[in-house]
């Protein structure tokens, strides 16, 4: 981690007591959101407060996503619209961070076509941000720093968006090179944080009153493989489970090829690990999985599911699915419908395949029309709606422990939260319960949530 003390001191000296506001917007995955919180932590040290209105900002940082090309196009559109802001307020600083910046052609495109942007900073170079801001304040021309620095995450403070739910990255990068995914090219190879640092961070969060800890990584199941046997992911879960306090541990994402029996044992045996597993299958066709370079078969995947269901038939599973991967046949698609019906997911996150330049899948022939892909997506969603409507009924009559997230957007006087099983639960209650655990007796179900009533005397108060 760069020592930014002198740089930050110089920034504060230049700006003095002048009020300064920053607008930070993060796109994409939860790892990006976590990076955005670290960016805000750095800016706070520089005396910045934060605004949700870009018109008020003295500094704008867009923390970008590169997973889909339309995500990049969206960011370029937003950057283009900021030209007018810069004309109205010449002192406004604009910076681009995030996964887009790891692609060298992006920095060149920004420099050439978007003169309103002052600097670009890479995902592995966030500790260079104070220097880039200082140089801009001193009148330097456009700069780009996408150098890789190793230990920013350990020293970075975060401005967390929630007072009771916290994300904790445990590793960065990915070694899997799925043929549709750009992440290994923009986030680099897998790098695990030291267990002692993760445990210390989680312990502090629990001491500060956080109720839910979300462990993050592109593939958390392979955590520790680069640490020389120091600790595996199941061992890390057991270590965190031993921290004193009343909290939940969640994690994402999990790759099926690394979802070991040891991991399933840890989920069931650790009382603080949430009883839910997000296990992206992506397709129900082994042939498609091979073209995706997923490195497991449908049979391998179902063996993991059967291990889980043999212990608890009602255990909560969710997944990711890609519809219309290049040359997906009707037979392939119906195999996906079959696995959805067989597993009975509580929820699916489904996407129509989107070509991503720089990936192997982008070069594959694809003779399926967009109209057909859309039809398949609608059919998949209808099948899942029917499953969810029926499957959620299993919770009726049960008591579920719920972490209250917010007031309900559906009903006045109601609250919404999630159970350990990652099921949305809605119930009548006072907003003072937000951020607390409550016990809810489930009385009804829908295809996206369950409803109930608070069990008297069972709150954190």
Query: Cα angle at 27 between 5 and 164, to 5 degrees?
Result: 70
Q: Strands, DSSP E only, in 261-413?
A: 276-278, 316-323, 347-352, 399-407
Q: Please tell me the predicted confidence (pLDDT) of residue 457.
A: 62
Q: Where are the beta strands (DSSP E) in 279-315?
A: none
CA distance 430 to 415: 7
* Separation between Cα atoms, residue 313 and residue 42, nearest integer Å: 46
Interatomic CA distance for residues 88 and 211, integer angstroms = 44
Q: What percent of the chain has pLDDT over 70?
A: 97
Domain 276-394 indexed as CATH 3.30.750.200: yes
Instruction: Please say whether the beta carbons of 57 and 22 come within 8 A.
Output: yes
52 phi/psi in degrees, rounded to 5 = -95, 0
Q: Quick one: CATH architecture of 162-274?
A: 2-Layer Sandwich (3.30)
Cα–Cα distance list, 14 to 2, 8, 18, 99 (Å): 21, 10, 9, 31
- Strands, DSSP E only, in 13-160? 21-26, 49-50, 59-64, 93-98, 119-121, 143-145
Q: What is the pLDDT of residues 266-285, one digit of tens each?
A: 999 999 999 999 999 999 99
Q: Where are the domains of the chain?
A: 5-145, 162-274, 276-394, 396-459
pLDDT of residue 4: 83
Q: Backbone dihedral region of 16: left (phi > 0), alpha (psi from -120 to 50 degrees) or beta?
A: left
For residue 461, the model assigns a pLDDT of: 42
d(CA 372, CA 48): 50
Q: Is 124 helix (H, G, I), strand (E, B) or coil?
A: coil
* Beta-sheet strands, E only, within 34-172: 49-50, 59-64, 93-98, 119-121, 143-145, 165-169, 171-172
Largest pairwise CA distance in the chain = 66
CATH architecture of 5-145: 3-Layer(aba) Sandwich (3.40)
Give me 287's structure tokens. 């042939």
Does the fold of domain 276-394 match that of domain 5-145? no
Top-level CATH class of 396-459? mainly beta
DSSP 8-state secondary structure symbol assigned to residue 282: B
Residues of the chain with pLDDT under 50: 461
Burial of 399 (0-12, 13-18, 19+ CB in 10 A): middle
Which residues have a Cβ under 8 Å from the Cβ of 96 and sit 6 or more positions away? 61, 62, 64, 75, 79, 110, 117, 119, 120, 121
Nearest-angstrom CA–CA distance, 294 and 402: 34
The predicted pLDDT at position 357 comes to: 86
Sign of CA dihedral 433, 434, 440, 444: positive
Structure tokens at 304: 């993991």
Question: pLDDT tens for residues 219-232?
Answer: 999 999 999 999 99
Q: Round to whole Å and give the CA distance between 174 and 185.
A: 9
Q: What sign does the CA torsion over 422, 427, 432, 438 have? A: negative
Q: What pLDDT does residue 155 have?
A: 54
């Amino acid at each position: 981690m760069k020592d930014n003390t002198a740089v930050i001191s110089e920034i504060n000296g230049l700006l003095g007591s002048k009020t300064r506001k920053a607008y930070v917007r993060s796109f994409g995955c939860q790892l990006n959101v976590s990076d955005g919180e670290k960016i805000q932590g750095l800016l706070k040290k520089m005396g910045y407060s934060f605004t949700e209105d870009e018109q008020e900002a003295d500094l704008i940082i867009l923390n970008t996503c590169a997973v889909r090309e339309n995500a990049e196009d969206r960011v370029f559109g937003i950057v283009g619209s900021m030209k007018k802001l810069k004309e109205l307020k010449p002192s406004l600083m604009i910076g681009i961070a995030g996964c887009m910046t790891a692609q060298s052609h992006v920095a060149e495109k920004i420099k050439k076509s978007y003169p309103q942007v002052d600097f670009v900073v890479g995902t592995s170079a966030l500790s260079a941000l104070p220097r880039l801001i200082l140089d801009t304040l001193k009148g330097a021309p456009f700069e780009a720093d996408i150098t890789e620095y190793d230990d920013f995450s350990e020293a970075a403070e975060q401005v967390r968006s929630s007072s009771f739910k916290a994300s904790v990255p445990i590793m960065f990068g990915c070694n899997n090179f799925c043929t549709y995914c750009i992440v290994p090219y923009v986030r680099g190879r897998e790098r695990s944080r030291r267990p002692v640092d993760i445990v210390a961070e989680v312990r502090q969060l629990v001491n500060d009153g956080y109720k839910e800890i979300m462990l993050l990584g592109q593939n958390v199941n392979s955590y520790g493989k680069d640490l020389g046997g120091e600790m595996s992911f199941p061992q890390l879960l057991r270590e965190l489970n031993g921290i004193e306090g009343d909290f939940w541990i969640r994690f994402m994402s999990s790759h099926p090829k690394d979802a070991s029996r040891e991991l399933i044992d840890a989920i069931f045996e650790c009382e603080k690990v949430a009883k839910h597993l997000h296990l992206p299958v992506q397709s129900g066709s082994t042939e498609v999985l091979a073209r995706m370079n997923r490195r497991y078969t449908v049979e391998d995947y179902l063996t993991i599911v059967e291990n889980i269901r043999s212990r608890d038939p009602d255990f909560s599973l969710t997944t990711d699915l890609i519809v219309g991967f290049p040359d997906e046949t009707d037979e392939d698609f119906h195999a996906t419908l079959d696995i959805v019906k067989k597993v009975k997911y509580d929820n699916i996150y489904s996407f129509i395949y989107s070509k991503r330049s720089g990936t192997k899948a982008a070069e594959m022939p694809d003779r399926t029309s967009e109209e057909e892909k859309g039809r398949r997506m609608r059919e998949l969603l209808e099948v899942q709606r029917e499953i969810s409507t029926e499957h959620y009924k299993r919770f009726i009559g049960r008591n579920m422990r719920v972490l209250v997230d917010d007031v309900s957007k559906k009903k006045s006087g109601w609250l919404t939260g999630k159970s350990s099983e990652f099921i949305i639960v809605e119930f009548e209650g006072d907003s003072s319960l937000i951020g607390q655990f409550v016990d809810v007796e489930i009385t009804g179900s829908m295809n996206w949530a369950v409803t109930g009533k608070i069990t008297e005397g069972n709150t954190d108060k």
